Amino acid sequence: MPGTSTIDVKCVKCKNVFEAVVIDHIDLSEDADLIRNLKAGKANRVQCPKCRKVMYLDRSLVINFEPQSLIVVYDSKAKSKAKKEVHRREFESVTAFNETLSELAGETEFQVVSDLPTLKKLIDEYAKMYVI
């Protein structure tokens, strides 16, 4: 099951503000059913309860490509080196929390991907190897 959180969303159509559960983290070894949505860039779909407008939220998403020891942050807004570096520092900060996480981080490749075609390629390669 993907890691989720609850956020406030403002409807682009009627301006209603509502709470929505969004995906923050996906482990492909457990959440392979989300591959199609990831490849389409539509992992975080919400619907306004007032006017029924469907929206796809453009927000960063952490994807664990287990067992490849690869963690990818997909953020379409992280085009610059500085924005990608912010994600890298966050990863280092989280993994520096304890010795076990630090050790795992040392064995894990970390990437920040900002364009959907690159993400699709990574997912396609993963699916060929690990998804039945």
pTM of the model: 0.88
* Distance from chain centroid for Cα 78: 13
Q: What percent of the chain has pLDDT over 90?
A: 82
> Is residue 17 a contact partner of residue 7, using CB atoms and an 8 Å limit?
no
3-state secondary structure (DSSP) of residue 91: helix
* pLDDT classification of 101: cutoffs 50, 70, 90: confident
- Residue 103 Cα distances to 27, 54, 67, 73, 100, angstroms: 19, 42, 16, 20, 5
Which whole number is the average pLDDT over 45-69?
Answer: 95
Cis preceding linkage at 67, omega within 30: yes
